[in-house]
Amino acid sequence: MAFGLSRLFRPRVERKSFNGLVAFSGGGAARWSGRDPSSLAREGYERNPVCHRAVRMVAEAAGGVPLLLFDGARELDEHPLKRLLARPNPRQGRAGLIEAVVSHLLISGDAYLEAVAVEGEPRELHALRPDRMRVLAGPDGWPEAYEYRVGAEVSRFDQRAEPAPPILHLTLFHPLDDHYGLSPMAPAAAALDLHNAATAWNKALLDNAARPSGALVYSGPEGTGLSDDQVERLKEELEAQFSGAANAGRPLLLDGGLDWKPLSLSPQEMDFLAAKNGAAREIALAFGVPPMLLGIPGDATYANYQEANRALWRQTVLPLLGRVAQSLAHWLGPVWGGDLRLEPDLDAVEALAPEREALWRRVTEADFLTDDEKRAAVGYGAAG
């Protein structure tokens, strides 16, 4: 049923007169979200689906790769470090710990691991929240301790402990900060804001019956207009009867000299869809994830999904996982001595199977290589 506004114009005592009632709006300065780790985590990982999926895709891929332990050139099947990584704490396994570390790195640019030692030997590893940690620099400018705050409780970790310091601090390179890393979300923050704003715009458009805002123009007799009470009643009636998805398409019956004048640009005119997809591609670029893998249209960088997936592993996942594995070995290796190192098991990465098959074929056909040289070429030690 059509809703009429003519009842607003019953006889009344004139108090304030307008020749016309026009609502208008103008553009303002852009508003950007904060760039601190907590704001980036909220606006990015918690609110933005592209950012959330990109972080999870890289972190889960890194967590799913087994780590091989070597002492020099010899692979170790049994070692306390391997057992520690297999069960770092009562709540997590190796995959969960690596996933948490990589996620923290991508979201905040920093990741912290605490080693809980018993009789000088690490027995548990815990990933700590970067937003609660503070670096305490010594007289030489380098970290001498870390301070972890939870509510009113503060824990201090002295890095001079032997044989290994209690905290491992991993960072992504930051050219302007000596102690903290730079999150991929920081250079992508403008694209994050744009993508979130486009989503909020579309939601607001649906909430307002999928119609752009406009103005009601009153063109009554000369010298007459709407009183303050009538203006407020008009706003209330429009809000109650024509806002929200349930009122979509409801006809508006105007009377008493009122006319509707649409003012704002339509989504087609402002090309929100193209802007949103462009922002999504920038977010994916910052995290090193091919847009094709995130379902973002308009990207033809890779010929197929398999090629894009291989690029994700080679250019993003494995370099990041390699850094984490190397840092773990350098941090905990002195506890047990020897030349310990951790490396990702590339044979367990299904996306790299075509590369592995091509390598085996080339090595098999190389008749000028000895059997031991062939084994070394594919990553195996000499035959016993």
Ordered per-residue pLDDT tens for the chain, 384 residues: 444 444 444 444 444 444 444 444 444 444 555 567 788 888 889 989 999 999 999 999 999 999 999 998 888 999 999 999 999 999 999 999 999 999 999 999 999 999 998 888 899 999 999 999 999 998 888 899 999 999 899 999 999 888 889 999 999 999 999 999 999 988 888 888 888 888 877 777 666 655 555 666 666 665 566 667 776 777 777 666 665 555 555 556 555 566 666 655 555 555 667 788 888 999 999 999 999 888 887 766 667 888 889 999 999 999 999 999 999 999 999 999 888 999 999 988 988 888 788 877 888 878 887 877 777 777 776 665
How far apart are the C-alpha atoms of 298 and 48, rounded to whole Å? 19
- Which pTM was predicted? 0.75
Give me the pLDDT at residue 35, please. Answer: 64
Contact 345, 94 (CB under 8 A): no
134 membership: H or E segment, kind and range: strand 133-137
Angle ∠(54,58,59) on CA atoms, nearest 5: 110
- Model pLDDT, residue 80: 94
The secondary element (H helix, E strand) that includes residue 3 is: strand 3-4
Distance CA 46, CA 44 (A): 6
Q: Which DSSP symbol is given to 152?
A: T
In 3D space, the residue among 72, 68, 61 whose CA is nearest the CA of residue 82 turns out to be 68
Q: What is the pLDDT of residue 33?
A: 59
pLDDT for position 335: 92
Spatial distance between the Cα atoms of 248 and 200, rounded to a whole number of angstroms? 18
User: What is the helix (H) or strand (E) element at residue 125, kind and residue range?
Assistant: strand 121-128
**334: CB partners within 8 A, 6+ apart:** 163, 164
